[in-house]
Chain A
Amino acid sequence: MKKLKYALFTGCTAKQSTPEQMMSTLAVARKLDIELIELTEASCCGASHLQDYDDFLSLVLNARNIAYAEKHGLTMVTICNTCQLNTAMTKHRLDRNPELKAKVNEKLAEVGLEYKGTSNIIHFLYAIIDDFGLDKIKKMVVRPLSEFNIAPFYGCHNIRPSELHDESHKQKENPYNPTSLDDLIIACGGMNVDYEEKNKCCGFHVELQAPHTAAVLTGTAIAGATDQNADMMVTPCPLCHLKLDTQTKSASEAIGREVSLPVLHMQQMVGLALGCSPAELGLKHHVTDVNFV
């Protein structure tokens, strides 16, 4: 197989509140011999909040990010569900609306850039599964996670709206019964835990304005995984991770029950199975201790 190469859009949390997500992404890429060219020029995707304020500006900024991936002639890989949503949504809208695309390009021309629509945009989870292949990962596992029940937490913005995500995935993901993360857990030798909240919302986006709603959603998700005997949760989204890892106190208070589980980034789980060290994967950066390694 030709060596896989992508343009990496890190997003903002990887550089701030989830350094372990960046570390583990790079560690897994090294193990799988995937080359990642970091888009250091990229701006924030707006996280669907700038979109609430100024739609056109958020399109221009996201189109600029994609234009840099296009300049490399590479598929853009994201490591955050919300980055994936906002970037792919921009692509979707511009590719279908020549008039809008022209308007955006008029602005980008001011800084010598052009959005062409030539780069696909996929989350690293699907790059690993679709492009690298689960079977190959399975063969590379040196430390199977066979003692662990692992609860997948998919995160809204990777699975809904499915019409959008189907455009970038090779294999369809059913938003009501997603399987990618379950398959990855199994490939890593773990036991995948089935529970009702696995495709539900963590509440991250309203944490400031509706803290109770956000906390109930987080608490219910951790409780759901716990009740199905999960030893840990795993998620491809750093925002879900922040919520599930750092907000257990408010979550417990909101649902009137003490809940707390170690939460791995999808990359950390793969990294562990492939034999990366806890230090390489940044496991010490979790608020809820990862106590099993």
Chain B
Amino acid sequence: MSTNKITTQKVNFKVFRFNADEDYLPYYEDYSMDVTSEEVVLDILNRIKWDYDGSFSYRRSCRHGICGACAIKVNGRSTLACKESMTTMIEYFGNDLTIEPLSTKRAIKDMIIDKGDFWEKHAAVTPYLAADIDENPTCENLVSPHDAEELNDADLCIQCGACHYACPVVEINSDFFGPAAFAAAYRFEADVRDSDSQRLIDVNEEKQGVWDCVKCFECAEVCPKDINPIEKITKLHQMAFKKGVAKNNVATRHAVGFLHSIKKHGMLDEGGLVLYSEGAHIVKHIPVALQMFRKGKIVMPWNMPKSDNLDEIQKLIKSSSTVKF
């Protein structure tokens, strides 16, 4: 129990309002309130509904960060309303706060959105254990603590969607599975009891899979459960190589190309990497490459800089490599 004194400050809220059945366009309503340091974002949503407008709509159920229903955006940041303290929000963004649904373009009524794409993506990664289970077991099917740790807390995801609607790729590429689906895929891939052989292949497909993640870490930053989806995405990449299901394509060659470059120069050979990754498709990069060349931005192969003590690097690559492609 905190012994800090409860403080109060005035906050101006700009709140997204929309009723898909009646409104042609969404609009914003202003509310000013005295907010105490003890309140969470959900308290504000409740007060808008109870004190100002009974028609104001939002999802919530557990009020304990368990059901995942209440995620919304405050000043563009995905947040779990029942867990996020108002003090933090004011510290982050000041006393003028904008409250919006996770995705304004998916809004149905006020904070309530159509999360259909999120669930579709989730369902598409085989989010369950595929295992031959003895229907009449004679003993428990135990998982050792060490094996359970391999899940890296991926099983704690509450499917709130905060990461999915914070992911820039989800907005651009509608095929992309998104961070939560990847975290779910990892949760089962990392489970020693699982025997599914298709899931890892699916999440490594081009366009929809892990290789289209831009590595922005938005998902890691927003997740209220500290799932760190990008960490799981990285592990799915590694698993694909380890289990030999990584296809030979521009994305995988791009990853492996770093190794070849470092082995040869210690440093990255930028041109060499693009050539190795793209193969014959290198031609499409020629116009930009020419512009860069004219500005002294391209180093010729015979001038490639090398790291000092390159022999050390080569020795370490030999002794420390754990994967083959």
A interface residues, Cβ below 8 angstroms from B? 12-13, 15-19, 40-44, 46-57, 60-61, 64, 107-108, 110-111, 113, 156-157, 160-162, 174-177, 196, 200-201, 203-206, 208-210, 212-214, 216-217, 246-247, 249-250, 284-287
Given contact pairs A43-B262, A156-B217, A206-B212, A54 touches B267 in the complex (Cβ within 8 A):
no
- Across the interface, B168 reaches (CB within 8 A) one of A200, A209, A287, namely A200
B292 touches A54 (CB 8 A): no
- Across the interface, A43 reaches (CB within 8 A) one of B77, B307, B322, namely B307
B interface residues, Cβ below 8 angstroms from A? 75-77, 92-93, 168-169, 172-173, 206-207, 211-218, 220-221, 228, 234, 237-238, 241, 249-251, 254-259, 261-262, 266-268, 270, 274, 277-278, 287-288, 291-292, 295-299, 305, 307-309, 312-313, 315-317, 319-323, 325
Given contact pairs A111-B312, A176-B92, A15 touches B298 in the complex (Cβ within 8 A):
no
A208 touches B305 (CB 8 A): no
Kindly list 4 other residue pairs between chains A and B, CB separation below 8 angstroms, not including A49-B258, A208-B278. Answer: A17-B299, A61-B313, A210-B211, A212-B172
Chain B contacts of A108 at CB under 8 A? 316
Residue of A nearest to B261 (CB): A44
A57 touches B274 (CB 8 A): no
- Across the interface, B309 reaches (CB within 8 A) one of A41, A110, A250, namely A41
Chain A contacts of B216 at CB under 8 A? 156, 160, 200-201
A61 vs B305: C-alpha distance when bound (angstroms):
18
A55 touches B238 (CB 8 A): yes
Q: Give the Cβ gap from B149 to chain A, nearest Cβ, in Å.
A: 12
Residue of A nearest to B237 (CB): A52
A215 vs B299: C-alpha distance when bound (angstroms):
24
Residue of B nearest to A111 (CB): B312
Residue of B nearest to A45 (CB): B268
Listed by A's residue number, 23 A-B pairs whose Cβ atoms lie within 8 Å are: A12-B268, A12-B270, A15-B305, A17-B297, A17-B298, A44-B258, A49-B258, A50-B262, A51-B234, A55-B234, A55-B322, A57-B322, A60-B316, A110-B316, A111-B312, A157-B215, A176-B92, A208-B250, A246-B288, A246-B292, A247-B288, A287-B291, A287-B297
Chain B contacts of A56 at CB under 8 A? 320, 322
B316 touches A50 (CB 8 A): no
A46 vs B320: C-alpha distance when bound (angstroms):
14
Which 7 interchain pairs have the tightest Cβ spacing?
A: A160-B217, A52-B237, A201-B216, A209-B251, A12-B268, A111-B312, A50-B258
Given contact pairs A111-B316, A208-B250, A54 touches B259 in the complex (Cβ within 8 A):
yes
A205 vs B308: C-alpha distance when bound (angstroms):
27
Q: How many residue pairs, one in A and one in B, have C-beta atoms under 8 Å apart?
A: 200
A44 touches B295 (CB 8 A): no
- Across the interface, B317 reaches (CB within 8 A) one of A57, A161, A216, namely A57
Given contact pairs A176-B93, A201-B168, A206-B212, A44 touches B262 in the complex (Cβ within 8 A):
yes
Residue of A nearest to B291 (CB): A287
Q: Identify the interface centre among A40, A56, A61: most chain B CB within 10 Å of its CB.
A: A61
Residue of A nearest to B173 (CB): A213
Q: Give the Cβ gap from A26 to chain B, nearest Cβ, in Å.
A: 16
Given contact pairs A160-B218, A208-B277, A47 touches B258 in the complex (Cβ within 8 A):
yes
A249 vs B292: C-alpha distance when bound (angstroms):
13
Given contact pairs A53-B323, A110-B316, A206 touches B307 in the complex (Cβ within 8 A):
no
Q: Give the Cβ gap from B12 to chain A, nearest Cβ, in Å.
A: 17
A287 touches B292 (CB 8 A): yes
A196 touches B76 (CB 8 A): yes
A285 vs B117: C-alpha distance when bound (angstroms):
44
Q: Give the Cβ gap from B263 to chain A, nearest Cβ, in Å.
A: 10
A201 vs B168: C-alpha distance when bound (angstroms):
8
B313 touches A43 (CB 8 A): yes
A174 vs B90: C-alpha distance when bound (angstroms):
12
B308 touches A41 (CB 8 A): yes
Given contact pairs A107-B316, A160-B220, A217 touches B214 in the complex (Cβ within 8 A):
yes
- Across the interface, A61 reaches (CB within 8 A) one of B228, B262, B270, B295, namely B262
